[in-house]
Amino acid sequence: MLERAELAGLVDHTLLATTATPADVEALAAEAAELGTYSICVSPSMLPLPFTPQVKVATVCGFPSGKHTPAAKAAEAAESVRNGADEVDMVIDIGALKAGDAARTEAEIRAVREACPAPVVLKVIIESAALTDDEVVAACRAAEAAGADFVKTSTGFHPSGGASTHAVALMAKTVGGRLGVKASGGVRDWDAAQAMVDAGATRLGLSGTRAVLDGGASEGY
């Protein structure tokens, strides 16, 4: 069982609402510092931040549909890094993967990786709830081959749902500790967060972070 501070240190404290304002983002960053989260995760349009956060800054790319060209995703990621992002969570083209074109998936991940090389951390959102187990494995293998640092379950916006312990365990088994595994989407209470970590998650995407850390239930991402 993780301690509160240990769990907080795994969290990307997230605000991706379309209605988010600069004041909301500043409040998010202040709360992240208070709670001791690893990072904040905000939309690219909120960057650069007009203040210096006390935690890492993550953003998203090709979000939430993934139906952007590799060049567009690469350009978006590069701009975000120029604007201060330490980490980029990109959405793959789920349809391409489901059509059996894992080579295309690998190529688009590689394009983003080349646009934001290390030390920028690249996480690959595979939308696991929309995939079969074989497709989850294929997505994870493509992410590893393309040089990603993490695989991530979900955007939190897909109708198929968010993270599951089954998907996290499968992803963790596939990457074998060589990549991190981020669970996001529908992780809204302490027990769910702990279950994701027990299944192999090494990072959590939460919007209701305070409620989760306090042992309650939250709404949102």
Catalytic residue selected from 12, 89, 93, 149: 89
Catalytic residue selected from 12, 73, 93, 152: 152
Token pair for residue 68?
A: 């952007």
Catalytic-residue membership of 89: yes
172: left (phi > 0), else alpha (psi -120 to 50), else beta?
alpha
- Nearest-CA neighbor of 205 among 60, 40, 12, 64? 12
2 in Cβ contact with 197 (< 8 Å): yes
Single-letter amino acid code for the residue at 29: A
Catalytic-residue membership of 214: no
155 in Cβ contact with 64 (< 8 Å): yes
Distances from the Cα of 108 to the Cαs of 10, 142, 163, 191, in angstroms?
27, 10, 23, 35
CB atoms under 10 Å from CB of 6, counted, come to 11
Q: Distance from CA of residue 210 to its chain's centroid?
A: 18
How far apart are the C-alpha atoms of 16 and 41, rounded to whole Å? 7
Task: Enumerate the active-site residues.
Answer: 89, 152, 182
